[in-house]
Every structure is written in structure tokens, then in C-alpha cells.
Amino acid sequence: MIGKNQTQITEILLLGFQGLNSWRGIFFILLFTVYTVTICGNLLIMLLVASCKSLHFPMYMFLAQLSISDVLMTTNIVPNTLVCILRNGTIMSLSGCITQLYFFGASGASECFILTVMAYDRYLAICNPLRYPSIMNLTLLRKLSIFSWVLGFSFPLVSALNIHSLNFCGLHIIDHFFCDLAPILQLSCSETLRVTLEVVSLSILVMVLPMVLTGTSYGCIVKAIVRMSSSMDRQKAFSTCSSHLMVVCIFYGTLIIIYMIPTEGLSLAISKSISLLYTVVTPMVNPIIYSLRNKEVRNSLNLCIIGKLR
């Protein structure tokens, strides 16, 4: 229950990046450029997969969905962050803040499941190449896609609804550039232990379990590649999953740094920089990795450009 001298919070002040001073304009331009590159790169991947028949395979269908989750992630965070930089802080409604937290969790959870499904797809292609076309058919592809998105948007909804039922009072300031879980819970004057335990439990299902399944898939893939007698076959097998493996390492690497390593000794600036890496830089890097390291994507891009020039 809220005390008599405590006022219910309806708005939250996001401080963003304080102390930028003369660097504010440069940082705004840099972040806007990264956001533009992110949107254009991921939209390009989606358009290539949709329009090029050479990319109408499960691996690239899942890649297009990975791009969708990246666009959702960065669009949920960056526009408001840009406003925050220009105004040296911005005000959001409490409901808006919790909504931003929900879509942040939903896009991240969906990406976890999509990466896991992509690892399973590579496992089938390399470890069961003869049965791969019959197993990874259109029906299974649709089921795995629906599974990834439904679970990705369902788990965070439970936490978001429970957070919304809490009472928020006292200070209404969050020293961050977006509404992350820990800063929001710090504003609550209700008991947050139940919500915290619930979030930890869901995180195991959303983040840890997919990470274990992805690691298991790649363990089987490495074992199968080592057993191949031909060096050409080994090189071809590795090239088909190297791009995905790099994306997985970057994605889970930043997640581990943010949520599994204690941050008590880190400054706010470092914590914000790490969060910026996960929410802004990683979605930009993903399409670049696939464009540079995947031969089929490069060829489709070249054919598309040549076709436009003719």
C-alpha cells in the first residue's frame, strides 16, 4: 500500500546520456547513422530473401525473421534515445515505459528462439544431409517460425503485466537511455521479490535453455565436420554455419556481459555503453556479417544490383 506522503508515479524521466555537452550533436549523428544502416541492412536482407528464388530455403527464411527481430529491437529503443540525446533527457509515461520494456524483452526472446531454430536447421543440414529436405519441409519451417514468435512474445508479456500491477512512487528518474528491467523495479514501492524470481525463471527458459540447445547443436556440427574425410567437404560445411556462429557468439556474448556478470563495480557510463552495444550495434552487425561471409547472399545482392543497373 502507498503511504500517505508518497505519490503514485505516472511519468518517468529518462536521463539518457548526461554530460555530453559539445559532443551531443556528434553522438546524435553517429547514433542516427548506425540506426539508418541497421534499418537499411536488415530491410535489404528481408527484400533479398523475399524476392530471390536462390534464397528460398529454410536457412534464409529464418535469416529474414532474424532481421525482423533486429528491426523491432532497434526501432523500439533508438528513436526515443535520439530524442533523449537532443533534449538531454525525455519524459515517458509509466505505461509507455513498461511497454518499451515488453517489446525489448519480446524482440530479444524471439531472437533467442530464432537463433536456436537456425542452429537446429544447420545441424540437420550438416549431420543429416540426405534426410534434411524431407525433415525441414515447409510445414516444419512454419511451425518453428510460429513457435519462435509466439513464445518470444508470450513470456515477456507475463512479466510486463505483473510489473504493471506494482505500485510506483517516490523518485521518477531512471539514469538510463531506455526502460530496462532493473531501473524500473527500483522505482517500485511494492515488494518486487516475486516479480524478480519470476523474471529469473523465465530468463532460464528464454535465454539459458536456447543457449544450451544452440551450443549442443554446434557441438554435434563440429563433431560431424571433424569426421568428414574430405577437406573440401569440411570447408563447405563450416562456411554454411560460420556466419550464424559469429552472430550467436556476439548475441549471447553481450547478453552474458549485461545480465550474468555483476555490474556493481561498473560505472553507469560503462553499463550504458554495454547496453548500447546490445540494443544498437548488434542489430547493425548481423546483416553485415551475413552479407560479407555468405556467398549466396552476396551473389543475390550482386544480381539484384546488376539487374537494377541494366
φ/ψ (deg, to 5) at 57: -130, 155
Q: Supply angle C-alpha 218, 282, 182, rounded to 5.
A: 100
pLDDT, average across residues 50-57: 84
pLDDT, average across residues 92-121: 94
Q: Rounded to whole angstroms, how far apart are CA atoms 176 and 14?
A: 6
Distant-in-sequence, close-in-space partners of 272: CB < 8 Å, separation ≥ 6: 17, 176, 177
Q: Rounded to whole angstroms, how far apart are CA atoms 110 and 112?
A: 5
Q: Which residue has the cell 546520456?
A: 17
Mean pLDDT of the chain: 85
C-alpha distances in angstroms, 234 versus 205, 257, 293, 303? 33, 32, 16, 28
Residue 133 has pLDDT above 50, yes or no: yes
Per-residue pLDDT at 308: 54
Q: Rounded to whole angstroms, how far apart are CA atoms 62 and 67?
A: 9
Residue 265 has pLDDT above 60, yes or no: no
> Cell digits for 296?
549466396
Please tell me the least confidently modeled range out of 32-46, 87-101, 162-176, 213-227.
Answer: 162-176
Q: Rounded to whole angstroms, how far apart are CA atoms 116 and 215?
A: 9
Q: Rounded to whole angstroms, how far apart are CA atoms 164 and 169?
A: 13
Going by DSSP bridges, is the β-strand pair 90-93/173-174 parallel, antiparallel, or unpaired? unpaired
Asked whether the beta carbons of 27 and 20 are under 8 A apart, the reply is yes
Per-residue pLDDT at 230: 79
In one letter, which amino acid is 129?
A: P
Can you list the positions of beta strands (E) in the chain? 11-14, 90-93, 173-174
Under the banding of pLDDT at 50, 70 and 90, the label for residue 241 is confident
Q: Rounded to whole angstroms, how far apart are CA atoms 173 and 177?
A: 11
Q: What is the pTM of this model?
A: 0.89
Q: Which residue has the cell 528491467?
A: 181
> Cell digits for 150?
509466439
Q: Rounded to whole angstroms, how far apart are CA atoms 48 and 54?
A: 9
All structural domains of the chain:
11-309 (1.20.1070.10)
Residue 199 has pLDDT above 80, yes or no: yes
Residue 169 has pLDDT above 90, yes or no: no
Please tell me the least confidently modeled range out of 79-83, 145-149, 176-180, 237-241.
Answer: 237-241
First-to-last alpha carbon distance for the chain, in angstroms, is 70
| pLDDT tens, residue by residue, 10-33 | 889 998 888 777 788 898 999 999
Q: Rounded to whole angstroms, how far apart are CA atoms 305 and 310?
A: 9
pLDDT, average across residues 203-207: 86
More confident residue, 145 or 183: 145
Under the banding of pLDDT at 50, 70 and 90, the label for residue 260 is low
Q: Which residue has the cell 555468405?
A: 294
Q: Indicate the DSSP class of residue 57.
A: S
φ/ψ (deg, to 5) at 174: -120, 120
Under the banding of pLDDT at 50, 70 and 90, the label for residue 1 is very low
pLDDT, average across residues 61-89: 92
